[in-house]
Chains A and B, each alone.
Chain A
């Protein structure tokens, strides 16, 4: 059990989301950086889909009313436990009464606080993710507030070395599988979507230019600013299902990338769709930062997915073995 001592306005309980209900208009929601949430859970011996807290406004401060293990992953938020700094991507134990503080990260956008056992809220339609738009899931369908108490489910037994331990963050460990930013811009791979070719010469400008993530961006979607692009003809679109990562172009010509809280249906022309394996990186992109889209293939997307899966499996196996070995030596 933890108590929220201080929080910004948009921090919520999230798990890996609520897919499977788009056919009744329900957004999947879920962590914007699902990789960070997974690794946090793996470090704690939780199920990979256990719910954690997505922190995107800082400072964020919690008190452990009961002791327990926790993990901090995602953006390096310079966390401290009773004032003692913790490395990023780290798990440690907290004694009853200890205070954990997360400060504004200098890069990346979202930090994840996972708790041993996972956040205990009742699943709604198979998920503990907060759907702010629908007003359900998470903690009463709303953002976390000062004074909230967040309970946890029963934790797995596991040896935790003194001082805790961590992992090499994926941005470092996977730098070969994920294109490194050039001149500070994030490279995001995407596949051309249904109306791509109708943009004519503007399609090339979509891929070649740097887009800036505008201030009107949130968990629902990122609005990009740049040199507008337009289809060569006005088309009458019928509403159809969409998934996070779809890049739609409204009449004004500046694209919108749908994110975790994406609408389930859309009707704007869509120029491309981000490969799923790059969504976690987009989920960490900050307002005001630059990105460029890189055309990709299904084969390249699969290679990126395999790199992610191998990293997760390696963390899982190694963390277990290291715990066993250290427990044996303790």
Chain B
């Protein structure tokens, strides 16, 4: 597995083989009822955790990243990590989704959240635009890099 510059003291890809991390990820999988989770890194390194149905055993395999499916007419807003997709903040369930179809979003706006255990990660619109097709199901499991929604360019 690829390792980054040690001298910066930054965390490296190698940390993904940390047993504590893997067991935590496996715990989330179990809790969410899914059976696989894949973390892929831009440089081609990656980690796949497969949880056998009904069992606690975890198998780890290095994987080759698949090419992301970007549609030519728009751009995809992608999940920053695998987890549960939330289309609104869990403390504001009575409100509407943050990114309803047809809604204009500024660059940097939060279009939803990925819930990983108690942690919420923002799903961020990298460019301004109009919310087009929404791919992720609210409160459904989503993988790293999966398209949450497609943004159409602003007119």
Contact = CB atoms under 8 A, between A and B. Distances in A.
Given A157-B9, A318-B116, A321-B20, A164 B15 contact: no
A328 interface: yes
B34 interface: no
A3 interface: no
A172 B11 contact: no
Given A84-B108, A163-B124, A326-B80, A319 B119 contact: yes
Contacts of A84: 106, 108-109
A327 B81 CA distance: 12
Contacts of B24: 317-318, 321
A164 B144 CA distance: 17
Nearest to B88: A87
A162 interface: yes
B110 to A, nearest CB: 7
**Interface residue tally of chain A, by bracket?**
20 to 34
Given A161-B80, A165-B120, A328 B12 contact: yes
B121 interface: yes
Interface string B63-91: 00000000000000000110000000111
A95 interface: no
A145 B12 CA distance: 43
A88 B91 contact: yes
B132 interface: no
A181 to B, nearest CB: 14
A122 interface: no
Contacts of B90: 168-169, 172
A328 B122 contact: no
The secondary-structure label for the interface of chain B is mixed
Contacts of B108: 84, 163
A95 B113 CA distance: 23
A105 to B, nearest CB: 12
B41 interface: yes
Contact of A173 (B14, B106, B118): B118
A34 B15 CA distance: 32
A318 B18 CA distance: 13
A328 B91 contact: no
Interface string B98-126: 00000000101110010111111110100
Interface in A204-248: none
Interface in A154-179: 157, 159, 161-169, 171-173
Given A88-B91, A327-B10, A329-B41, A167 B120 contact: yes
A169 B91 contact: yes
Given A317-B24, A324-B11, A327-B11, A168 B115 contact: yes
Contacts of B80: 161, 326
B61 interface: no
Contacts of B39: 325, 329
Interface in A287-314: 311, 314
Contacts of A162: 124
B54 interface: no
A315 interface: yes
A323 interface: yes
Q: Which 8 A-B pairs have the closest CB atoms?
A: A327-B11, A318-B117, A163-B122, A166-B120, A324-B11, A163-B124, A169-B91, A324-B15
21 contacts: A76-B92, A84-B108, A87-B89, A87-B122, A88-B89, A161-B122, A165-B120, A166-B122, A168-B115, A168-B120, A314-B118, A318-B24, A321-B21, A322-B81, A322-B121, A323-B11, A328-B14, A328-B15, A328-B16, A328-B41, A329-B39
Given A168-B118, A315-B119, A329-B42, 18 more contacts: A76-B91, A84-B106, A84-B108, A157-B9, A161-B80, A164-B122, A165-B122, A166-B122, A167-B120, A168-B119, A318-B116, A319-B119, A321-B21, A323-B11, A324-B18, A325-B15, A327-B10, A329-B41
